[in-house]
Structures are given as C-alpha cells and as structure tokens.
Structure 1
Amino acid sequence: MDYAAEIERIAVEARRRSANVAEEIDEIHRQTALRAERFAAETTERLQELADQDQVVQDPPEVPAESSAPPPSRTPEPVRPSAPRPPEAFEPDPNWTPEQLRQAEIRAAVARARAARQARSTVAPSDGDYDPESEYYRRSTWLD
C-alpha cells in the first residue's frame, strides 16, 4: 500500500470539497446582498409613502382667501387632575377565534384590576383632624 499516494488523494479530495463549499458560501453571500438591496429599496419606498401620508395628515386644509373671519384663538385649558376613567366595557367581536377571545378577556380583567388599584391608591382621611399615625399609613411610598 502506497501511503503517500493515499494521502495525496485525500488531500486533493479535501481541496475539491473545500473549493465547492467556498463557491457555495460565495453564492450565498451574493444572494444575501441582492436580497438586502431589494429589502432596502422596498423599505425606503414604504417609508417615503408613510412620510407622504403623515405630511398629508399633518397639513391643515387651506382656508379660502375669501373668508375674512379671524382664526379662533387657542388658549390652552389648564390640566385638571381627575379621577381615573373606568375601563371600557368588554365587547367581544363575533369574528374572533377562541384564543383571541380569551386574550381579550384577560386584557379586560387586567384593565379592571388596574383601575381598582388606582381607585384605592388615593386615600383621604375620614376625619378632619391631623393624625400622625394615619399619616404613616397614607404615605406615597413604602420604600423609605
């Protein structure tokens, strides 16, 4: 048995397979680059469409020059603290799948629980006098 010839044959086969793998990798890189270019072009076009739509929505309609009425003055109304709004009633859509219905019920339950916690977070003393002990229990944070 000629070991040198066998080693040479194995080396030639390894170089051939290595060249095939390198060619496949080059082809994959080329295909990936083409896909990336296509994706970038499509994304740019889509972003431009969305920007155009936003521009149309943000542009106020032109007022005809014939109207001589002064524009209404906008004075910002002061922000008044208000009680938290109760969560909206849960209304299932008849087209929902059972899984979507279950998820919607869970979201509604979480919203109800959150509203209940917020409603209980504001505590007012029942009597008008100052009580240091009640102040301790009415503090805003328990991390002190």
Structure 2
Amino acid sequence: MVDYVAEVERLAEESLRRMSVLREELEEIKQETARRDQEFSANLATEMSQFWQEHAETEEAARAEAEEKERLEAEAREQREAIARSIAARKAHELVTPVDEDDDPEGEYYRRKSWLI
C-alpha cells in the first residue's frame, strides 16, 4: 500500500527546496543587475562628458551657422517685402508727397508721373 501522506510531505519538501534555490538565484540576478546598472551609469556619465567636450566646438559652430542663416533669411524677407511694396506703389500710380511740406519745390520731382529721364 502506498503511503500518500509521506509522498505529499516529500513533494512539499522538494517544492520548498526548489523554491529556496530559485529565490537564491533571483537574489543573485538582482545583485548582478544592480552592479551592472551602477557600472553602466558610471560609464555613461564619463562617455557623455567626453562626447560633449569633443563636440562643443561643432555645436557652437552649428549654432552660429543657424543664427547667420536666420539673419540672412530675415534680410531676404525684408528685401522681398520692400520690393513688393515698391511694385505695388508703382502699379497703383500713387503719388509720393513729402510729409513735411506740400509746396516743397523739390516735391514736384518726386510727384512726377514718369521716372524716365
């Protein structure tokens, strides 16, 4: 006859032993992971510091180039807007009169219909 109580106790002890082994392995894995994390963090900080030191000049040059490009684009935009205003004024045949004096003798020069001399 089979002793079921002894068999259940044996299986329970075996399960507890295996659980204990697995817990120990899990704890070792946690410790190894923590060690590697600290090592990785230290290496990353060092490498990032070196990277920024090496690329500081490149970053500054890129920033200066971007600022110059932005300035040139603003100048070009201002020129295009001035040209567009000039063209619109010519198409509308608007007369330009001095603001300070309406009877200015030189004002006639600016109010003439044709600019061809």
Structure 1 length-normalised TM: 0.40
Structure (1 or 2) with the greater helix fraction: 2
What's the TM-score once normalised by structure 2's chain length? 0.49
**Looking at CA atoms only, which structure, 1 or 2, has the larger radius of gyration?**
2
